[in-house]
Structure 1
Amino acid sequence: MASELSAMLDECPIIAAVKNEAGLEQCLQSEIQLVFILYGSVCEIPAIVQQVKNAGRSAVVHVDLISGLSPREAAVDFIRQYTRADGIISTRPQVLRRAKDLGLATVQRFFVIDSMALENVYKHQEDTRPDFIEMLPGAMPKILQKLSSSLPTPIIAGGLISDKEDVMAALKAGARAISTTNPEIWFM
C-alpha cells in the first residue's frame, strides 16, 4: 500500500488534508489523488472514507482525531475492518505498528516545536519505521532539509503551508510531499 501512495505522490506531491465535509467536497473537485481525513466520528468515518474511494482517491485516516475512537490498536482494527482506508496517521507508535501488521500504509505525525521534539523524530522513527513522517509545522525548510537528508523515511511537510512559495521551499528542502488544508494549494 505504501508503494502505491508513493507512486501517487510522484505524480502530485500535494495531499489534501480535510477537516470537515465542505473541505472534503471541495478537495474532490481537485485533481489531488491522496486525501488525509482529519475529522469525523466512529459512526461517520466509514461513509467519509467511502466518499473518497468512490471519487477514485486514496484515503488515509488520522485515527487520533476520530471522535469515539481511542488512540489504541483497536482503533486501527476498526478502521481496517469497517472502512476501505488505505492507511492511517497517528502520533502513537503502538497504533502505527498495529497498522503495519494489518497492511495499512502508515504516517507518523510529529509536532517539531523545539530541539527535544526534533530528537524524538529520530528516536521514534527508528522504533516505529513508518512509511512516511509528517512534520508539522511544514514551513521550516532548514529542519525539513536536516530530516530528509538524515532519515530513510520520506518526509511530508504539513501545517502552516500557505502559498506556492511555501510549497516550493518545502519540496526544495527535501520534503516528499505537502499536506495542507488550504484549498488554494489543492488547485495549484
Structure 2
Amino acid sequence: MSLADFSSRIESNPVIAGIKGEEALEKALSSECEAVFILKSTIMNVGELVKKIKAEGKMAFVHVDLLEGVSSKEIILHYLQETTEADGIISSKAPMVKQAKNYGFITIHRFFLMDSMSYHSIDKQILNSNPDFIEICPGGMTKTIGWVKEKIDIPIIASGLVCDKEDVVAALGKGAIGVSSTNTDVWQL
C-alpha cells in the first residue's frame, strides 16, 4: 500500500489500533481501524501477525525498536521487506527511519516529548530521518501536539495515554491526523 493510501485511510478513520499480543490482534482485526501498529512482536511471529492484518485488508506497521530477537541494525529492514508484507515501520531512531525509506516502507518517526530538550531536538532529528509521519508520545498531552504542529510540517500521529473519546477529539483538534491507542475501547470510536 502506498503513502497516499495510508493518508487517505487515516483521514477517513483516524483511530489506529496498537497491539501487544494475540488477544489485542483479534480485537483489532474485527474493529473498524484501517491500520494496526504492531508494538510487541518477535522475529518468530512478526510475519504471521502481518499476514493476519493484511488478510483483513488493513495496513500493518511494525515497531522495529520493540521487535524482539533482532538488533537495531538495518538488516531488520531487509528481513521485514523479504519475509513480510508490512506497509511501514515505526522507530524512535532517526537512522532506522531514514534507511527504511530505501526499502520502500512508509516511515513513522516516534518521539517521546518529556521535556523542552526533547521538544527542541525534533527539527534536527527530522532533518536526519525525513519521515513520512511523526508520532508524538504521550498523545494525551495535546498542548505539545499543537506546539509540534506549529513547528513541523509533517503529519502527526498522537500516541500514548490516549484513553477515551475526549483524548481523541482533543488530539485531532490540536492538529494530529490520527491517534494510536492500545485501548480497545478507543478503537470503537
TM-score normalised by structure 2 residue count: 0.97
Partner of 1:114: 115
Alignment coverage as a number of residue pairs: 188
Distance 1:125 1:13 in 2: 23
Partner of 2:32: 31
Partner of 1:65: 66
3-state SS, counterpart of residue 157 of structure 2: strand
3-state SS, counterpart of residue 42 of structure 2: coil
Partner of 2:90: 89
Partner of 1:139: 140
Do residues 153 (structure 1) and 154 (structure 2) align? Answer: yes
Q: Which amino acid aligns with 1:127?
A: N
Q: Which amino acid aligns with 1:147?
A: V
Cα shift readout 1:69-110 (whole Å, capped 9, x = no counterpart)? 112111111111110000000111111111101111000011
Cα shift readout 1:7-27 (whole Å, capped 9, x = no counterpart)? 111110110000111001011
Partner of 1:78: 79
Distance 2:23 2:138 in 1: 23
Report the aligned-residue RMSD.
0.8
Partner of 1:21: 22
Q: Which amino acid aligns with 1:167?
A: V
3-state SS, counterpart of residue 72 of structure 2: coil
Asked if the contact 2:37/2:63 (under 8 Å) is kept, the reply is yes
Q: Which amino acid aligns with 2:71?
A: S
Distance 1:14 1:54 in 2: 19
Distance 1:110 1:126 in 2: 14
Give unpaired runs (5+ residues) of structure 1.
none
Sequence identity percentage: 39
- Give the 4+ runs in structure 1 shifted more than 2 A: none
Asked if the contact 2:98/2:128 (under 8 Å) is kept, the reply is no
After the TM superposition, which residues 1-20 of structure 1 pair with which residues of structure 2 at under 5 Å, given as runs?
1-20=2-21
3-state SS, counterpart of residue 114 of structure 2: coil
Post-superposition shift, 1:149?
A: 2.1
3-state SS, counterpart of residue 127 of structure 1: helix
Distance 2:181 2:94 in 1: 23
